[in-house]
Chain A
């Protein structure tokens, strides 16, 4: 039971950390100053959520485990984030769409988790959903602005949809630890979130004059630690300092 709970919490934390790290790569490179700050704020929100989950997981794990050791000293195969979160930034359209897809999911997930049997998870989710509500609003407006914008922005959104859609299916395929967490009343049955997610995405896509893809092959494996080639590079950058200078602090 404890083992499942830790896995489940790490999965929640890894999603937030990896997407937060991806967004943080925009820091200093945003299309305009105001949006640079916006995406960096979102990155900080997500990394803050990851910290809350890691601190809780470290508490359950006990011993020398800390939020830092969970973020900096686990290998690629130990990370349980969904593949969507590790996809590269590419351009503003890809970044926006990745955030939009994930915020739609995270919003539904945290709504359910705030009713979790586990009080700590419920409390973290209850706090985080306010942040996610804003991420969802911000990314939805950008999807509409780009989709219903210029010829180029529309085309870039279509490319982003083609590239990222195959990674959305995994969000709703429950892993062993999600199924177990569901049985204990800790987390929701993620497969049940799919229809609502699709309806909500379609509503924004309609407004953005973007075509909703038909369901297709879903890339999966992230939750089991089988990642795309990108995660290794993310971790190399993220963990370099701690691995080169163990226990360094500032």
Chain B
């Protein structure tokens, strides 16, 4: 079996990962658009909106290093008191599933309704489930 490793951003958004030939097109666009920013990697930002909740992906931004990424995230994504905690991850460290695998990955779960925890009554006090 041929397993290919995908990184975030590898998959052209318009094609949805259709081609197995790595696309060089995106890179050439990046450098021509913003030359001075070529050294600033992309970071994914996760914000925890309050204690006890999960960190949720809110978007991405460019920054030179992790400190700058956290500060940028604070300035860009928490201006309206959206968060109490910030995680940043360099986008290239995120491995993504291949959209081509959608059939084999997700469809088998379609007819297995018994896996849903909907047969239990949850107490009202349990939030965020």
State the A residues within 8 Å of B (CB).
32-35, 37-38, 41, 134, 137-138, 141, 145
Contact = CB atoms under 8 A, between A and B. Distances in A.
Nearest to B61: A34
Contacts of B121: none
Nearest to A142: B68
Interface class of chain A by DSSP: helix
B78 to A, nearest CB: 10
Nearest to A44: B79
Contacts of A38: 71-72, 75
Contacts of A134: 74
A32 B72 CA distance: 11
A141 B71 contact: yes
A41 B72 contact: no
A61 to B, nearest CB: 33
Interface in B18-63: 37, 40, 61-63
Nearest to B68: A141
A34 B79 contact: no
Contact of B40 (A32, A37, A138): A32
A137 B68 CA distance: 11
Interface of B: 37, 40, 61-65, 67-68, 71-72, 74-76, 79
A201 to B, nearest CB: 20
19 contacts: A32-B62, A33-B61, A33-B62, A33-B76, A34-B61, A34-B75, A34-B76, A37-B72, A37-B75, A37-B76, A37-B79, A38-B72, A41-B75, A41-B79, A134-B74, A141-B67, A141-B68, A145-B64, A145-B65
Contacts of B63: 34
Given A41-B75, A41-B79, A141-B71, A34 B64 contact: no
Contacts of B68: 141, 145
A141 B66 CA distance: 12
B4 to A, nearest CB: 32
Contact of A138 (B61, B64, B65, B71): B71
B75 to A, nearest CB: 4
A137 B72 CA distance: 13
Contacts of A34: 61-63, 72, 75-76
Given A32-B37, A37-B76, A141-B68, 15 more contacts: A32-B40, A32-B62, A33-B61, A33-B62, A34-B63, A34-B72, A35-B72, A38-B72, A41-B75, A134-B74, A138-B71, A141-B67, A145-B64, A145-B65, A145-B68
Nearest to B73: A34
Contacts of B76: 33-34, 37
B107 to A, nearest CB: 39
Contacts of A138: 71
| Minimum-distance CB pairs A-B, first 8 | A34-B72, A38-B75, A37-B75, A34-B61, A41-B75, A37-B76, A34-B76, A141-B67
Nearest to B39: A150
Contacts of B67: 141
A32 B63 CA distance: 9
A41 B77 CA distance: 12
Contacts of A33: 61-62, 76
Contacts of B62: 32-34
A50 to B, nearest CB: 19
Nearest to B71: A138
A142 to B, nearest CB: 9
A141 B71 CA distance: 10
A32 B39 CA distance: 13
